[in-house]
Amino acid sequence: MTNSNYDKNNIFAKIIRKEAKANIVFENKHILCFKDIFPKAPVHILIIPKGQFKDIFDFSINATSEEKKAIYDGFAEVIKIFGLELDGCRIINNFGNDGRQEVPHLHFHLLGGKDIGSMIS
Ligand code: AMP
């Protein structure tokens, strides 16, 4: 589904269209997983849907069950790729102004490879 409020020129939309470069670690029909350019941990991967969803609220309302499942499958893929099954990681989604979301395309941060620390400092 196309969201009329979606900004098609945001950087992640350009990465999906392959107009901008990214260090992609996993990709399938519904999702793209790539390295954050300013990593906050040894492993810092962004997991995004390929559909045009501006945030988690938009996605929760408008995504299909298949698109939603693909995000969880993506978490599992990235956890396996980086061998985080035993040590764990943190998965964060920032939503809107109060959540300090910067890029207006839904993305999940997966952070690991060290103790990530307390959740809110
Ligand atoms: P957020 O504050 O949740 O919107 O986070 C946006 C994240 O996207 C930040 O961690 C940025 O470092 C990251 N980011 C922005 N542009 C790029 C890019 N071109 N490639 C990879 N990561 C990016």
Query: Would you state the pLDDT for residue 3?
Result: 59
CA distance 8 to 53: 10
Establish whether residue 24 lines the binding site of ligand 1, counting it when its CB lies within 6 angstroms of any ligand atom.
no
- Residues (pLDDT < 50) of the chain are 1
Span from the CA of 46 to the centroid of ligand 1 (angstroms): 8
**Is pTM beyond 0.75 here?**
yes
Cβ 92 under 6 angstroms from ligand 1: no
d(CA 120, CA 65): 31
Q: Which residue has 């499958």 as its token pair?
A: 73
The confidence score (pLDDT) of residue 43 equals: 98
pLDDT at 4: 61
Residue 110 Cβ inside 6 Å of ligand 1? The answer reads no
Q: What CATH number does domain 11-44+64-112 carry, 3.30.465.10, 3.40.350.10, 3.30.428.10, 1.10.3720.10? A: 3.30.428.10
Q: 3-class secondary structure for 68-107?
A: HHHHHHHHHHHHHHCCCCCCCEEEECCCCCCCCCCCCCCC
Structure tokens at 13: 């939309």
pLDDT of residue 41: 98
